[in-house]
């Protein structure tokens, strides 16, 4: 399987890219898609500390550990689990066994040694690298420190488009938007990629591909939905934050002109989706009520 490290900001941000085939077995993409994509984790480095966004799939364990080794070095490592799904959690235990992990940022109120220790080949006990790792719950607006002094932080975001188990993130230092579940529609015919799209680079993405990737996967609920709040949320996000890199969990990383192009492709589909018949059931609407 293809594996590479892409340095997105000199000494500051690295994409840990590991490929896999789209052959009808991966739930990350529509089941009829054929080709290759990647599982991307991202390492933010500042002084003697590092923060890892996502831990990737089990199949990439050895490749990921090999990628992390020279980048983490002797630094203390923090884990960010932005998805309460396998893609965000699979390698938390072997990473904690290999590197000094000081904290896990998570969306679930459960000790890492319990919640992240689901792989049977890694029993709990004295050798459990997660055993003494504390955790902190994350929600929209939280600033997660990359360095000990908190001079550089990753901001947790919750735009309206996201899937419910997921959080997005923004690193002001490198002007990078981390996206677990959108902008993942750029796969390749070969596992060699390239996995970074910049100004003028070859980009096969079409409006039809964006629609197919959304509707025939986990955004099936967009047709017929109340789209305007979603569009407003996305417009506000891109107006508020200076975004020079879009770092998705799967597929090509976007830079330069590709950012505006892909944002427009997404927005064009959202406009179209509002006019389409719903594929869900008419379950009505619920008003949020504060817990008593």
CATH number of the domain encompassing residue 203 = 3.60.15.10
Q: What is the pLDDT of residue 292?
A: 52
Is residue 199 in some structural domain?
yes
Token look-up 């975001």 returns: 157
Q: Residue range 246-260: average pLDDT? A: 96
**Is residue 281 in a domain?**
no
Q: pLDDT for 218-250, tens place per residue? A: 999 999 989 999 999 999 999 999 999 999 999
Beta strand ranges found along 180-258 (DSSP E): 196-197, 245-248, 253-255
Q: Is residue 30 predicted with pLDDT exceeding 90? A: yes
Q: Is the pTM of this model over 0.85?
A: yes
- Residue numbers of the domain that contains 61: 3-273
For residue 126, is it within any domain?
yes
Residue 212, Cβ density class (10 Å: 0-12 exposed, 13-18 middle, ≥19 buried)? middle
What angle, 0 to 180 degrees and rounded to 10, lies between the N-to-C axes of helices 257-273 and 207-215? 60
Q: Is residue 170 part of a domain?
A: yes
- Residue 269 banded pLDDT, cuts 50, 70, 90: very high
Q: Is 22 helix (H, G, I), strand (E, B) or coil?
A: strand
Q: How far is CA 214 from CA 23, 163, 256, in A?
A: 18, 12, 23
Q: Is residue 290 part of a domain?
A: no
Please enumerate, as own/partner, the contacts of 197-206 that have beta carbons within 8 Å and a separation of 24 or more. Answer: 197/252, 197/253, 197/254, 197/255, 197/258, 198/255, 198/256, 198/257, 198/258, 199/255, 199/256, 199/257, 199/258, 200/256, 200/257, 201/258, 203/258, 203/261, 205/261, 205/262, 205/265
- The reply to whether 28 falls in a domain is yes
- Does residue 115 have a pLDDT over 60? yes
Tokens of 245: 């890199």
Q: What is the pLDDT of residues 50-90, one digit of tens each?
A: 999 999 999 999 999 999 999 999 999 999 999 998 888 99
For the chain, the domain total comes to 1
Q: What is the pLDDT of residue 288?
A: 59
Determine contact, residues 149/115, Cβ cutoff 8 Å: no
Q: How far apart are CA 127 and CA 81, in angstroms?
A: 22
Q: Helix count (H) and strand count (E) of the chain?
A: 7, 14
């Amino acid at each position: 399987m293809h594996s590479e490290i892409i340095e997105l900001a000199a000494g500051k941000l690295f994409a840990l890219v590991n490929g896999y085939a789209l052959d009808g077995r991966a739930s990350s993409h529509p089941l009829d898609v054929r080709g290759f994509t990647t599982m991307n984790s991202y390492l933010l480095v500042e002084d003697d500390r590092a923060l890892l966004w996502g831990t990737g799939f089990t199949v990439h364990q050895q490749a990921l550990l090999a990628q992390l080794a020279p980048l983490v070095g002797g630094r203390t490592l923090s884990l960010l689990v932005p998805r309460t799904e396998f893609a965000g959690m699979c390698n938390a235990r072997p990473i904690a066994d290999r590197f000094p992990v000081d904290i896990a940022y998570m969306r679930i109120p459960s000790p890492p040694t319990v919640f992240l220790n689901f792989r049977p080949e890694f029993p709990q006990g004295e050798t459990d690298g997660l055993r003494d790792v504390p955790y902190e719950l994350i929600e929209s607006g939280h600033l997660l420190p990359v360095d000990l002094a908190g001079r550089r932080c990753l901001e947790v975001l919750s735009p309206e488009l996201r899937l419910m188990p997921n959080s997005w993130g923004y690193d002001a230092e490198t002007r990078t938007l981390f996206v677990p579940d959108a902008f993942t529609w750029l796969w390749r015919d070969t596992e060699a990629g390239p996995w970074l799209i910049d100004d003028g680079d070859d980009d096969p993405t079409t409006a039809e591909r964006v629609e197919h990737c959304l509707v025939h996967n986990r955004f099936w609920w967009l047709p017929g939905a109340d789209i305007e709040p979603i569009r407003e949320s996305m417009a506000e996000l891109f107006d508020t934050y200076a975004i020079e890199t879009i770092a998705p969990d799967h597929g090509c990383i976007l830079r330069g002109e590709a950012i505006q192009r892909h944002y427009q492709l997404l927005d064009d589909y959202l406009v179209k989706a509002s006019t389409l018949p719903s594929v869900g059931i008419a379950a009505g609407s619920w008003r949020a009520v504060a817990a008593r």
